Amino acid sequence: MSDTVQPIQQGVIPHLVVADAKAALAFYVQGLGAEEVFRMPAEDGHRLLHAEIRVNGARLFLRDDFPEYRAEHGGTSAPPDLLKGTSAVLHLEVPNCDAAMERAVAAGATVTMPAMDAFWGARYGQVADPFGHLWSFAHPLAAPGEPCPLAAGQAG
């Protein structure tokens, strides 16, 4: 057996802080098609200390907010509503941008940027989940190897 560390399967794993992790897990399963992998309850029996889901093949961690520990950890790890926004957008490449957005909205997300044919050759849109995190969805407008219809002035 080797003493070497095995390669990491995903270099960066987003770790979201939310106001209600149990509800967030339910939303991500219903609205994004996520698969719940693991959850660890906190000692209070209500909040989650840690949870992991797979979204679009990628790992994502999330947990409840623990305001009683913020000062010990730099004071900046809090849900988006307490921070008055978020500085990150979680992006998903999907087979159909419009369908992915409709699914998220049906589960409780709010459209922040309606789906559009973007200048870089993708159908693209954004939603805010019920916990304040932003998600974008996109699919290419052309098949691999074909020119983008927008570049050819064919967008309508």
User: According to the model, what pLDDT value does residue 93 have?
Assistant: 95
State the virtual CA torsion across 87, 92, 93, 99 in degrees, nearest 10: -120
The string of pLDDT tens digits covering residues 83-137 is: 888 889 999 999 999 999 999 999 999 999 999 999 999 999 999 999 999 999 9
The string of pLDDT tens digits covering residues 63-79 is: 999 998 877 767 668 89
Q: Within a domain: residue 147?
A: no
Q: Which domain holds residue 119?
A: 15-73+82-140
Q: Within a domain: residue 10?
A: no
Average pLDDT over residues 27-48: 96
Q: How many domains does the chain have?
A: 1
For the beta carbon of residue 151, count every other beta carbon within 10 angstroms.
Answer: 13
Confidence tier at 9 by pLDDT (50, 70, 90):
confident
Q: Within a domain: residue 35?
A: yes
User: According to the model, what pLDDT value does residue 14 have?
Assistant: 93
Q: Within a domain: residue 3?
A: no
Q: Within a domain: residue 152?
A: no
Confidence tier at 156 by pLDDT (50, 70, 90):
very low
User: According to the model, what pLDDT value does residue 11 have?
Assistant: 77
**pTM to 2 decimals?**
0.83
65 three-class SS: coil
Q: Indicate which CATH number applies to the domain containing 36.
A: 3.10.180.10
DSSP state of 46: S
User: According to the model, what pLDDT value does residue 113 have?
Assistant: 98
User: According to the model, what pLDDT value does residue 155 have?
Assistant: 47
Q: Within a domain: residue 155?
A: no
Q: Within a domain: residue 9?
A: no
Helix residue ranges, H only, the chain: 21-32, 80-83, 97-106
Confidence tier at 5 by pLDDT (50, 70, 90):
low
- Would the pLDDT of 154 be above 60? no
Q: Within a domain: residue 56?
A: yes
User: According to the model, what pLDDT value does residue 82 have?
Assistant: 86
